[in-house]
Structure 1
Amino acid sequence: MANMAKVLKDEISRIAKRELRADIVLIKKDTARLKRDIAALKRRLNVVERDNRQLAKQAAKTETVEKAEAPTAPLPTPDEGELKRFRPTGRTIITLRNKLGLTQGALGKLLGVTAQSVYQYETREGRLNLRPPTKVALARIRKIGKRQARKLLGK
C-alpha cells in the first residue's frame, strides 16, 4: 500500500510538472515579448527626448532673435547723421530709463538686450561702445514717451 501511495504521488507530481511546463513556456514567451516592447519604447523615448531638446534650443534661438527685432519696428528710425552724433553714456541710459519709468529689465526688452547689459551700461563711465543694433534701438527709444514705451512692452 505504501508503494502504491508513492507511485500515485510521483505520477501526480509528473503530470503537474507537465501542465506547469506548458504554462511556463507561455509566460516566458510573454515576458520576452514584453522586454522587447520595453526596449523599443525606451529607444523611441530617447529619440523623442533628443528631438525635444533640439526643438527647445531652436525655439529659444528664434525667440531671442524675435525679441531683439520686435520692439524696434514701430519706432521712428534715426537718420545717419543723428546716429553719428549720438554718443550714449551710462548717465544717458539712467536718465532715459527714469524718464520712461522703466526697470532695467523692461529697458533691456525694448533694446533687445538683457537686464544685466543695461546694468553694465549704467555703471560704465564715459562713452558707451554699443553694437549697431543696440545703438539704433537706443536712439529710437530716446524719442518715445512713457505711454508708447508701456504699449511696446505690452503693459
Structure 2
Amino acid sequence: MTTFADQLKSEISRLAKKEVRAETQALKKASTQYRSEIAALKRRIAGLEAQIKKQGKGAVRVKAAEKTDEESGTSRRFRVAGFAALRKKLNISAAEMGKLLGVSAQSVYHWETGKTKPRASQLAAIAAVRKLGKRAVAAKLGEPAEA
C-alpha cells in the first residue's frame, strides 16, 4: 500500500508544481512588463528634467543678456549665418576674426557652426567689428589693406 500512497503523493506534488509554475509565470511576465514601463517612465522623466534645466539656464542667460542690453540701451542678437557672412565679407580667417574679438579661433568656429553662442560682452565686440570695413580690419590686424 505504500507504493500507491507514494505514487498518489508524487502525482499530487507534480500537479501542484505545474499549477504553481503556470501562476508564477504569468506574474513574472506582468512584473517584467511593469519594470520595463517603469524604466521607460524614468527615462522620460530624466529627459524632461534635463529639458527644464536647460530652459532654466537659458532663461537665466536671456535675463542677464536683457539686463546688459537694457543698461546699454540697445538689444543685440546673434545669427549664425550673419556672423559667417560678416567674416566672409571681411575676407578674414577664423583666427583673424578671433584676434579682432579677443577670443580663440575655435570659439569663432563653434559660433559659425551653431554649437555655441557668444556671450553678451562678445556680442558688443562683434557689433563693433560689424561697423568696420576691410581696410579698418586690415589696419587693426596689422596687415596691408586690400583694394
Q: Does 1:94 align with 2:81?
A: no
TM-score, scaled relative to structure 1: 0.48
Matches within 5 A, 1:37-52: 37-52=27-42
Letter in structure 1 aligned against 2:106? Y
Structure 1 residue ranges without an equivalent (≥5): 1-10, 96-117, 143-155
How many Å separate the matches in 1 of 2:102 and 2:25?
A: 63
- Quote the offset at 1:119 in angstroms: 3.1
- Quote the offset at 1:73 in angstroms: 2.6
Out of 106, 119, 124, the position equivalent to 1:119 is 106
Letter in structure 1 aligned against 2:103? I
Between Structure 1 and Structure 2, how many residues are aligned? 100
Q: Does 1:56 align with 2:65?
A: no
Describe the shift of the 1:64–1:93 C-alpha distance in structure 2 as closer, same or farther (beyond 3 A).
farther
Percent of counterpart pairs with the same letter? 9
Instruction: Report 1 or 2 for greater relative contact order, CA contacts < 8 Å, sequence distance ≥ 6.
Output: 1
User: Which residue number corresponds to residue 120 of structure 2?
Assistant: 138
TM-score, scaled relative to structure 2: 0.50
Describe the shift of the 1:74–1:138 C-alpha distance in structure 2 as closer, same or farther (beyond 3 A).
closer
Structure 2 residue ranges without an equivalent (≥5): 78-82, 87-96, 125-147
Deviations 1:100-135 (A, max 9, x none): xxxxxxxxxxxxxxxxxx9342x58xxx7698xx46
User: Which residue number corresponds to residue 68 of structure 1?
Assistant: 58
- Quote the offset at 1:16 in angstroms: 0.8
How many Å separate the matches in 2 of 1:69 and 1:141?
A: 18
SS at match of 1:71: helix
How many Å separate the matches in 1 of 2:121 and 2:47?
A: 31
- Quote the offset at 1:66 in angstroms: 1.7
- Quote the offset at 1:67 in angstroms: 1.9
Deviations 1:13-47 (A, max 9, x none): 23211111112222222221111111000010111
- Quote the offset at 1:58 in angstroms: 1.7
Structure 1 vs Structure 2 CA RMSD: 3.6
How many Å separate the matches in 2 of 1:83 and 1:19?
A: 87
How many Å separate the matches in 2 of 1:31 and 1:130?
A: 60
Letter in structure 2 aligned against 1:119? Q
Letter in structure 1 aligned against 2:6? A
User: Which residue number corresponds to residue 104 of structure 1?
Assistant: none
